[in-house]
Amino acid sequence: MTDHVMDAAFRPAGLDRATQGVLGRGIDRVEGPAKVTGVADYAYEGTPERVAYAAIVGTPVGSGRILSIDARAAEAMPGVIAVLHGDPRMPAGESNSSALPLFDTDVILHLGQPVAVVVAEDQAIARDAAALVRVETEAGEDRFDVEAQPVDTDPAIGFVPPVDMGDLDAAMRDAAVTLDATYTTPVHFPAALEPHATTAWWDGDRLTVRSSNQVIGAARKTIAKVLKIDADKVRVLAPYVGGGFGGKTGVGPEAILAAIAAEAVGRPVKIALPRRQTAYVVHHRSHTTQRIRIAADERGVIQGMGHESVAAQNDDAPFLEPVPFGTIPLYRGESRRFRTDLVRVDLPASGAVRAPGEAVGTFGVECAMDELAVQLGIDPIELRRRNEPDCDPGSGKPFSTRRMLDCYTQGAERFGWPAAVPAPASVREGGWLIGIGMAASLRGNFTVQAQARVRLEADGRAAVECDMTDIGTGTYTILAQAAGEMLGLPVADVDVRLGDTDFPPTAGSGGSFGAGSAVSAVVLACEDILAELALRMNAAPEELSLKDGCVSAGGRQVKLADLLRGAPIVAMGKTGPGKESKRTSQASHGAHFVEVAVNAVSGEVRVRRMLGVFDVGRVLNRKTATSQIIGGMAWGIAYALTEEGVVDTRTGAFVNPDFGEYHVAVNADIPQLEAYFIEEIDDSANPAGAKGVGELGISGAGAAVANAIYNATGVRVRDFPVTLDKLL
Ligand code: MOS
């Protein structure tokens, strides 16, 4: 068994020669039947013997101090096994991105901060008893109103360093054309359909945590650290995850509390967060304020651009929404200011929600570009063409692959973008105002550490194992396709096993890096298997050809199973960021095109059609990649029109923390969506040649909708979402 540490630029010969047509094809999800027949087991399913159920108690107020916790009434309730509080194993700042409860402190960070956990014989009893736990508090100063707080321009948190190049103020003073506008976006919830849930049990000193989690390798380390045990005593399982959207990247309090409760009562313990509690226990995307400044010449060529933003965070969590992250490589301009400043609030943690940065940052920059095009009287696509950079305008690095101009051209053609965009509010069909809009899309590409083990079994079937998760994205399917492609096997002959920390480590599902990284690891493992097969065939690896379970070389054809008899081949593949990923600027790109109808009387907005063209490197599965993109587009429509977490500034409560009042898009809101790919294998990205897909679709999608609404109505709304009251 060999370990390959390959530079990202390494191009696997096996994949180059691949001719099976398995990888890339839009085949159905291999785990689909298990899901629709109920065989797939999610974190809360399965009932271990003697399982107990737990519910989390949150603080009744959002600031101040905890004086005492009185659990007597809860403990007296029939069916209650224990009420736990005051456990010191709850330090702040141990999570990857979301807040953990603070059992060891009396400081209240936000409303609903976990302070106790009730364990009972069933879920209903646990939840009822949780309501009986009395938390006495002392009031403190509060900071619930984001807009009333001072801005910290030197935040010590966040991962995007401020960019300050040239002299933006001078550029704004001297430019022929300028734009200076401020946009705001509200709190967004990640809103996965599967609740945040964990089942935990102990076998002696070994802990098993079955948890709905995107990144189980990191989760294992965090859980071990918080519980002060060795990581090799912790096993995290997440074979199926019903949506994550960033909310499941860290370790949720329910995972830690299930483990602590299971230890305390000596039984397996399950916790699922009720939907309304999810908003308080799981992180949300921060509200943002974005000032966009653009200085351009009379042709619209940008000389200076500013994207100066503010996002909110509480006193504990380390994250800051990287608002201008995707703006930095988007357009030319010598004078550049990109930053995110911080407002401290007493609200639940803000954290990474799908496409942190781009998902909301594109509302600012892409609506501002539309405003500039209107001001200049030029086509918005033409304005973007004139500002397409030759290299990364921040770092000066060459782009690995960048087909943005082709996305504009092909998108405009497929959409039927007119030679001249109609004047705002000039197209009417009966009682409806019709408008079109477009926006660019960009999401940075990252290749991360990933390992995978591939076994070619004696019967000629293959097995792939790694601790990747499939959060509804298609991981099972694309890994089966990658191994099938390399080994000449049909997908049905490849077993993929995921979501178990006993398997080789990956960085899990996040940041759109999972697919490219994990597929690369699988491909590299298969390269080793091919080398071993070549030895057994007395041939050079490049002479091998594999198809339908047979190996051919030098005019000889042998069945894989015959070649393997009694001696399966096992190989590890390992990939990570290489020299190429530092030398080049890498991103996926795209362009969205939208037509809306706005009711002239009520202001109701209906999206009539929407399509986009995307540059994502190698497409690993046309169907699952399309699903990722149109899912993001649907979410972009909801960001433009409906999604808004509302804070009650008197109490720090979320007014609408459930699907009844926080309006995610439903079928009736979404028209036919079309996504097209421009496929160019990106050799600099990773051995698979694939760039990220998952977070690209939402980037720019909402801005395209907002721009179409402006074109329909002549009303420019800069405060999202664009609800009908703002249009009248
Ligand atoms: Mo993502 S917000 O890294 O799941």
CA of 355 to the centre of ligand 1 (A): 6
Q: Answer yes or no: is pLDDT of 9 > 70.
A: no
- Residue 170 is encoded by which pair of tokens? 């001078």
Over residues 124-144, the pLDDT tens digits come to 999 999 999 999 999 899 999
**Is 695 marked active-site?**
yes
Q: Answer yes or no: is pLDDT of 694 > 60.
A: yes
Over residues 302-339, the pLDDT tens digits come to 999 999 999 999 998 889 999 999 999 999 999 999 99
CB neighbourhood size of 174 (10 A) = 12
Residues 427-453, mean pLDDT to the nearest whole number? 97
Say which residue the tokens 């009420």 belong to. 83
CA of 214 to the centre of ligand 1 (A): 9
CB neighbourhood size of 195 (10 A) = 19
The residue whose CA has the least distance to atom 4 of ligand 1 is 246
Q: Answer yes or no: is pLDDT of 20 > 90.
A: no
Alpha carbon 262 to chain centroid, angstroms: 31
Residues in the chain, overall count: 728
CA–CA gap between residue 31 and residue 22 (Å, rounded)? 17
Q: Answer yes or no: is pLDDT of 157 > 90.
A: no
- Nearest ligand 1 atom to alpha carbon 510: 3
Average pLDDT over all residues of the chain: 93
Whether 352 is in the pocket of ligand 1, judged by its Cβ within 6 Å, is yes
Judged by average pLDDT, the poorest of 259-273, 276-290, 537-551 is 537-551
Q: Do 58 and 277 meet the contact criterion of CB atoms below 8 Å apart?
A: yes
- Nearest ligand 1 atom to alpha carbon 248: 4
56, β-bridge pairs: 117
Whether 356 is in the pocket of ligand 1, judged by its Cβ within 6 Å, is yes
CA of 350 to the centre of ligand 1 (A): 13
Over residues 211-261, the pLDDT tens digits come to 999 999 999 999 998 898 999 999 999 999 999 999 999 998 899 999 999
Over residues 516-558, the pLDDT tens digits come to 999 999 999 999 999 999 999 999 988 999 988 899 998 999 9
Q: Answer yes or no: is pLDDT of 91 > 50.
A: no
Instruction: Report helix angle 475-487 to 514-536, nearest 10.
Output: 20
Closest CA to 452 of 436, 431, 466, 469: 466
Q: How far is CA 682 from CA 11, 233, 461, 584, 604, in A?
A: 10, 40, 30, 11, 42
Q: Do 621 and 26 meet the contact criterion of CB atoms below 8 Å apart?
A: yes
CA–CA gap between residue 548 and residue 23 (Å, rounded)? 14
Q: Do 370 and 384 meet the contact criterion of CB atoms below 8 Å apart?
A: no
Q: Answer yes or no: is pLDDT of 12 > 70.
A: no
Q: Is the peptide bond before 424 cis (omega within 30 degrees of 0)?
A: no
Q: Do 588 and 691 meet the contact criterion of CB atoms below 8 Å apart?
A: yes
CA–CA gap between residue 498 and residue 617 (Å, rounded)? 24
3-state secondary structure of 385: helix
For the chain, helix (H) and strand (E) counts, in that order, are 17, 28
3-state secondary structure of 353: coil
Q: Answer yes or no: is pLDDT of 98 > 60.
A: no
CA of 352 to the centre of ligand 1 (A): 6
Amino acid 347 reads L
Give residue 7's pLDDT band: very low, low, confident or very high (50, 70, 90).
very low
Over residues 695-716, the pLDDT tens digits come to 999 999 999 999 999 999 999 9
Domains of the chain by range and CATH? 13-40+448-576 (3.30.365.10), 392-446+578-728 (3.30.365.10)
Please give the pLDDT value at position 566. Answer: 81
Q: Among 212, 695, 698, which is best to mutate for testing ligand 1, by the most ligand atoms less than 8 A from CB? A: 695
Q: Answer yes or no: is pLDDT of 404 > 80.
A: yes
Residues 115-124, mean pLDDT to the nearest whole number? 95
Q: Do 344 and 286 meet the contact criterion of CB atoms below 8 Å apart?
A: no
Radius of gyration of the chain (CA): 27
Q: How far is CA 177 from CA 17, 212, 346, 421, 509, in A?
A: 52, 51, 41, 21, 43
Please give the pLDDT value at position 226. Answer: 87
- Nearest ligand 1 atom to alpha carbon 190: 2
Residue from 371, 465, 644, 695 carrying the catalytic annotation: 695
Q: How far is CA 445 from CA 89, 448, 556, 685, 726, in A?
A: 36, 10, 42, 8, 36
Q: Do 360 and 353 meet the contact criterion of CB atoms below 8 Å apart?
A: no
Say which residue the tokens 């007493």 belong to. 346
CA–CA gap between residue 32 and residue 611 (Å, rounded)? 26
Whether 246 is in the pocket of ligand 1, judged by its Cβ within 6 Å, is yes
Q: How far is CA 442 from CA 270, 451, 615, 629, 684, in A?
A: 40, 27, 9, 12, 17
Closest CA to 115 of 159, 155, 75, 55: 55
Q: Among 216, 286, 319, 354, which is best to mutate for testing ligand 1, by the most ligand atoms less than 8 A from CB? A: 354
Please give the pLDDT value at position 47. Answer: 87
Contacts of 608 (CB under 8 A, 6+ apart): 434, 595, 596, 597, 671
Whether 184 is in the pocket of ligand 1, judged by its Cβ within 6 Å, is no
Whether 354 is in the pocket of ligand 1, judged by its Cβ within 6 Å, is yes
- Nearest ligand 1 atom to alpha carbon 353: 2
Please give the pLDDT value at position 89. Answer: 62
Q: Answer yes or no: is pLDDT of 502 > 90.
A: yes
Amino acid 5 reads V
Q: Among 196, 249, 358, which is best to mutate for testing ligand 1, by the most ligand atoms less than 8 A from CB? A: 249
